[in-house]
Structure formats: C-alpha cells, structure tokens
Structure 1
Amino acid sequence: MPSLYIYSPSGAVRDRAAFRRAVRRLQAAGYDVAVDPAALASHQRFAGDDETRLAAIERAAASGADVALTTRGGYGLTRLLPRLPYDEIAAAAQRGMAWVGLSDFTAFQLAVLAQRGTATWAGPALMEDWAGEAVDEITAACFDDLARGVGEGAGWRLPRADGQAHPELSAGWRLEGVPLWGGNLSILAGLVGTPYLPAVEGGVLFLEDVGEHPYRIERLLTQLLLAGVLARQRALLLGAFNRFTLTPHDRGFRLETVVAWLRAQLPGVPVVTGLPFGHVPTKVVLPVGRPVDLVVEGRDVLLFWG
C-alpha cells in the first residue's frame, strides 16, 4: 500500500469539506494517507506563515512516505527558497520519496534541482485533482503508477498543426537521454537571474500556465528567450495554457499566434504542443530533472524515463 504525506507549502486551503473529501478518496483508492498537522493552517493568503510552511516541508521530508503531495499551489514557495531544507529534501528523494505537485510548486522543484541536483515530479495536487465532483481516470492512473514505482513514460497525439510546422517530426524524430525540466511558466520566468533556476543545457523544457492572457504568455516567453534559456534547449513541450479571456482589442491575437511567433524565434528547436499537463483534469506525471527519451513517430509523441 503506497503511503502519502499531504502538506501545504503554498496557498491556504479554504474549502475544508472538499479537503476531507479528497483525503477520503485517496484512502478509498488504497493509499495510506498521513496529513500534516498544519495542512489547513492559514495566514493571509498562505497556508500558515513562512515558519509554519517551512516546518511542514521538513516534516514531509522526515515522514518516510512514498509520496509527498501538496494540497494546492497559489503562491508562497518563491519567498521560501533561500531557507528550504535542501539537504533533507534531497535525502528523502534519495530514499525513494517522490515530491509531487504543480503550479507554485515549480519554484520548489527548480530550486532543489539547481541547488542539489534533486529530481522531483510534476503532477497532480490534492485540491486540484481529488476534491472536485469526479477524479480523472488518466490522472489517477498516472499518479498510481508513480506511487507504486512502476511509471515509465507518457504519450499524446501530435496536433496536426505541429506536424505542418515541423515536418521533420512527422517523418520520425527522437532525442535520447536529455534532461526534462520545466513547470509553470510564470514561476519559472520569475527565477531568471537567481541561483534557483537550473542551468540546463540541451534539455527538453515543458511549460504550462493558467489565467494568463496570450500576450502575457508571450511576454514571459520573451524573457526566457532574451535570457538565452530557450535557445539552449533541444525541444520545448507546451502543455495547457487556459482560463483566460480574449477581448475584441486582440483582433485575432491568440495563443496560436504566440506559438507561431515562438517557432519563428527558435529555428531548429521543435515546439511541440498538446502535452497533457497543467491546470486541466487530465494530466500525466513528469520527472523534473531526470533524463528522458523523446520520440515522435507519425502523430504519436512518447516520453520515456523508465
């Protein structure tokens, strides 16, 4: 029976009934669930003050659980980066713990990768994926594979527009043993120029975001482009960019416009869309900081890390 440790390193959990429902669902699915004593703490918009949340991370590292699962994202981890217990986090990962989360958790993941070379997992969060009316079967299955230590990869269909933009992909294309890294675009861009952004060369960078208008997405990508981050990668994988509203002022400027612009700035670097990850019901788990093989066969995109 895989063991989970539920803790809150970022935003406060406001819906306690939904929290309890999510925990019961994980228990019913066969997990041994331990809940951090400060999981429902609240201070301003945070799940407790900085000291409270740092202590929760330390307890998660010492818990011995198979998976340390965040309750939610929001905001709060970036301000903790200088004080994270990096040695304890790395030691727990070395013992086999999978640190799992998304969104604001990107700050934690990139910092521990930059500071200790520690790999973590981009994946679901308690409130995002188990507290609603239903649990997505693919998300639950991918998480269960990770918790049981049998996950080996992920795959999705290459959108037709990608094949047209990158004909070399449709003909068969692969990268072998390249580091996969990334996460939430806003969080990642905010780490540029700090010691908490990994200096990954020749990697596969995956990105997602939520609630950001396409022009803001382009602005964040431009920051990474001008900082030289994007040109140093072998490929970019774009997940979900959603929950934004276009306006009449946009006059046709939309997310597809941004993707086309990005491809024009990065000749020779495939920009692949459709990655099932982000603030969407169906999401895979992805290793952050581990080598992967990326294979495109026809319209099938496959990531292997097993």
Structure 2
Amino acid sequence: MSSLTLFTPSGALAKAQPLQRAAKRLAQLGFEVSIDADALSRHQRFAGEDAARLAALHRVADAAPSVALATRGGYGLTRLLDQIDWGRIAHSVEHGTRWVGYSDLTALQNGLIARHKGLAMWAGPLACDDFGRSEAEGGVDEVTRDCFTEAMSGALEAVGFRAPTAEFDGLEARGRLWGGNLTVLCSLLGTPHWPKIKGGILFLEDVNEHPYRVERMLLQLQQAGVIDAQVAVLLGDFSGAARSPLDKGYGIKDAVAALRSRTKTPVLTGLPFGHIRTKVCLPVGATVEMYVQGREAILGWQSDARLAHGSHGHDHDHD
C-alpha cells in the first residue's frame, strides 16, 4: 500500500469536512493516508504562520511518503521560497516521493527544477478541490481520479488531448516539461526560483484572470525571451473571469492570437489542465515527447523510475 500525506502549504482550509472527505476517498483508492499535524492550521489567510508551513514542508520531505498531496492552493509558497531547504525536498523526490498539486504549487515545482535538473514533481489534483467535494457538489471526477491513481502507481506514461483545430498536424517536439499557473510562474521571473529552460515544453493555465491580463502575462514571457526559447507551448484552461462591456468580443482566443503573432513557437490550446474538474497529471521537470496528428495530441514520457531518480534529456539551460 502506498503512503500518502496530505499537507497544506499555502492558503488555509475554510473547514475540515472536505479534508476528511478527501482522506476517506483516497483511503478507499488504496492509499495509506495520513494528515499533517498543521494541515488545518490558520493564520490570517494562510495555513499557519510562515515558519509553521515551512516546517510542514520539511516534515513531509523528511518522512518521504510515496505521495505528498497538497490539500489546496491559494497563496503562500512565494513567502517560503528563499527559506526552503531544497536539498531535503530533492532527497525525498530521489527516494520516490511524488509531490502533487497545481495552482500555488507551481512555485514549489518550478523552484525545485530550477535547482535540480532531472528531478520532477507532478502537476495534478488537489486533495480538497478534487477529492473533497460533496456528492451535491459533483463528487470526484472519474478521469481526474483514474489519471491520478495511474500516475501515482508509476504506470502513467502519456496523456492525450484534442486541440480545437488541426493547424499543428504533424508537429513533433521533445523537451523538458515545465510551467503551471501563469500568474505564479510570472512572479518567479528574475528570481533564483526561475527555471532557465531552453528547448522545453511550457504548459500554462490560470483562473479568474481577465483575458487581457492573461495576454499581458503571455507577452511578458514572450518579450523576456522565454516563449521563443521553447519548442512548444501548451495552454490549458483560462476561465472564471467576468467579461467587461468594454471587451466588444475580445476574449482568450484573441489573447492567444496576439501571442502567436509574435512568436514562431507553436502555441497549442486544449490541454485538459487547470482549475477545472477534469484534469490530467503532468510530470513537471521530466523530459517529454509530443506528437500531433490532426487534432489529436499525445504527450509521453519515460517510466516513473526515471522521473523519481532523474531523466537526463537533451534540453539545456540558458542565461
């Protein structure tokens, strides 16, 4: 039985019931579930004071469970990045711990791969968001659940998705997979926590950000040379923002078009990832290969053993 620890590194949980529900469901999936002692702590909007959340991260890393699953995202990891003992985090990954989450976990995932080439974490579900919903709220999405359990067992080696059009038919790309939440990722630019990846495959998502804000951040990455240095960009879900009467039809498609007009890097949409019910799991930091046939795209990687102990591809860093 795989051990699984639930921890809260960022925003506070509003109530305990979703966490308890998630723990029960994960146990029913065959995991030996434990909940970190400070998972329900609260200080202002955070899951405890900075020192407590930092200690929880190190505590989980030292225990090195099979799976370290964040309960929720929110905001808070940025406060910890300069204090994290990255060697302890890397040691846990090298010994088989699969750290999982998205949203604010983007900071932890990219902070690790900025320092340790060849190590990977998993962009995937959050315990309360994806396993803690009541049945009245829709319960657990089956695709998300099955993708998660397959990834955590070490069996997941590829995910597929359908792009809106066939404009990238025949595209083949190989590189280090990185990225995550667009807002969080942009906040790392220019810091020691930024992965200087050239020739990679960058994936992005966000929620509650108006399309013009999404465009502005995408163009920031392009103007900084980041987008142009990748072999492909994959865009997930960008929803939740209220439309403005000033938009006059402007939306995410226009933001994507603005980016595409400024870069030769293929920018694909339709990746099933983000603040949505149905999401895949993605190995952040692993070397992946992508193939597109018509509208169908496949993203594949090597076995889980290579993810845990390092996968040395041909991607390289740039200054």
Task: Tell me the TM-score normalised to structure 2 length.
Answer: 0.91
Q: Distance in 2 between the 1:59 and 1:45 partners?
A: 22
What letter is aligned with 1:4?
Answer: L
1:98 aligns with 98
Q: Give me the whole-angstrom Cα distance separating, in 1, the residues matched to 2:6 and 2:268.
A: 33
**Contact preservation (8 Å) 1:5, 1:63:** no
Matched with 1:238 is: 235
Matched, 1:214 2:223: no
Equivalent in the alignment of 1:52: 52
Counterpart in 1 of 2:129?
128
Q: CA separation in 1, counterparts of 2:248 and 2:187?
A: 29
Matched, 1:89 2:94: no
Gap regions ≥5 residues in structure 1: none
Q: Supply the distance in 2 between the matched residues of 1:220 and 1:157 (Cα, whole angstroms).
A: 25
1:255 CA displacement: 0.7
User: Where does residue 259 of structure 2 map in the other structure?
Assistant: 262
1:158 positional shift: 1.7
Q: Equivalent pairs: percent with the same residue? A: 48
**Aligned residues of 1:12 and 1:45 also touching (Cα < 8 A):** yes
Displacement of 1:22 in angstroms is: 1.2
Query: Do structure 1's residue 32 and structure 2's residue 32 form an aligned pair?
Result: yes
Tell me which residue corresponds to 2:185.
Answer: 188
Do the aligned residues in 2 keep the contact of 1:173 with 1:295 (CA within 8 Å)? Answer: yes
Structure 2 distance, partners of 1:294, 1:77, is 30
**Mapped partners of 2:171, 2:225: distance in 1:** 24
Structure 2, gaps ≥5 residues long? 303-319
Please give the alpha-carbon distance, in whole angstroms, between the structure 1 residues aligned to 2:229 and 2:171: 19
Let me know the Cα RMSD of the aligned residues.
1.0
Aligned to 1:115: 115
Q: Superposition pairs for residues 121-160 of structure 1, below 5 Å?
A: 121-132=122-133, 133=135, 134-160=139-165
Shift of residue 222 of structure 1?
1.6
CA distance in 2 between partners of 1:279 and 1:15 (Å): 20
Following TM superposition, the consecutive aligned residue runs of length 4 or more in structure 1 with deviations greater than 6 angstroms are none
Note if 1:285 corresponds to 2:299.
Answer: no
Pick the aligned partner of 2:301 from 298, 301, 305: 305
Deviation at 1:124, TM superposition (A): 0.4
One-letter amino acid of the structure 1 residue matched with residue 5 of structure 2 = Y
AA aligned opposite 1:304: G
State the shift of 1:96 in Å: 0.8
Question: How far apart, in 1, do the equivalents of 2:97 and 2:199 lie?
Answer: 27
Output the CA distance in 2 between the equivalents of 1:17 and 1:287.
29
Q: Which amino acid aligns with 1:36?
A: D
2:176 and 2:243 map into 1 onto residues whose CA distance is: 35
Shift of 1:64: 2.8
Tell me the CA shift for residue 301 of structure 1.
Answer: 0.3
Mapped partners of 2:182, 2:233: distance in 1 = 12
Deviation at 1:173, TM superposition (A): 2.0
> Is 2:14 the counterpart of 1:14?
yes
Return the alpha-carbon distance in structure 2 between the equivalents of residues 64 and 33 of structure 1. Answer: 13
